[in-house]
């Protein structure tokens, strides 16, 4: 996963996360720093709950477009990254959840815990965060047909994985094919969240960098 540029389209206006006009990102857990190239790096491959928060208003239909750069650490057969959206609060420390929010997660696990509902290999999860310590798994999707793309971006660190995610007030979620932009996944989540004040990026067990 390479080069992460995260854009929020709020009321039809594109806003870049962590842009100078927005609040300074809050490094909550993990080892975060800005590189000389202007990118934001999470440098600790062992951090399981690495997280950075940004205070950004969100309301109604939202579109999140980003690409992520893999920097290493998944050689042990496990790693993941994702984004909390519509969060009503943020905790500046290690936490499993982020207030009341959705977490959209891309996961790679060669040996997932039995009974966890997580497929072996590449998968995507949608969690509904209830609090900083409690989340509910809403959906878990086998993504192994995208494995060639994952290998493409992890073996060549100049490559990017692009993601387009759209979330609607009725709970509708659309995720688009990173290779062509066509709709790939379409589903509904229970108990839709329609507004929030925070976004959190997070990683689990690998290094990532994010650019804007």
pLDDT in tens, 90-142: 999 999 999 999 999 999 999 998 878 899 999 989 999 999 999 999 889 89
Cβ-proximal residues to 113 (8 Å cutoff; 6+ apart), any chain: none
- Those residues whose C-beta lies under 8 Å from the C-beta of residue 145, and which sit 6 or more positions away, are none
Q: What are the structural domains of the chain?
A: 7-210 (2.60.120.560)
Q: What is the pTM of this model?
A: 0.85
* pLDDT given at position 43: 96
Percent of the chain with pLDDT over 70: 81
Phi-psi category of residue 72: left, alpha or beta, with phi > 0 → left and psi -120 to 50 → alpha: left
């Amino acid at each position: 996963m390479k080069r992460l540029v995260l854009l929020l389209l709020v009321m039809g206006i594109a806003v870049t996360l962590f842009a100078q006009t927005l609040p300074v990102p809050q490094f909550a857990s993990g080892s975060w720093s800005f590189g000389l190239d202007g990118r934001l790096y999470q440098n600790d491959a062992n951090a399981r709950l690495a997280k950075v928060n940004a205070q950004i208003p969100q309301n109604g239909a939202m579109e999140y477009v980003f690409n992520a750069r893999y920097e290493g650490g998944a050689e042990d057969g496990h790693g993941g990254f994702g984004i909390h959206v519509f969060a009503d609060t943020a905790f500046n420390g290690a936490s499993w959840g982020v207030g009341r929010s959705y977490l959209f997660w891309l996961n790679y696990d060669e040996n997932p815990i039995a009974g966890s509902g997580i497929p072996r290999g590449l998968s995507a999860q949608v969690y509904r965060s209830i609090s900083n310590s409690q989340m509910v798994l809403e959906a878990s999707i086998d993504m192994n047909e995208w494995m060639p793309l994952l290998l493409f971006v992890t073996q060549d660190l100049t490559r990017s994985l692009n993601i387009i995610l759209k979330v609607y007030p009725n709970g509708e979620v659309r995720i688009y094919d990173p290779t062509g932009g066509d709709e790939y996944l379409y589903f509904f989540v229970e108990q839709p969240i329609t507004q929030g004040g925070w976004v959190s990026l997070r990683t689990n067990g690998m290094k990532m960098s994010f650019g804007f």
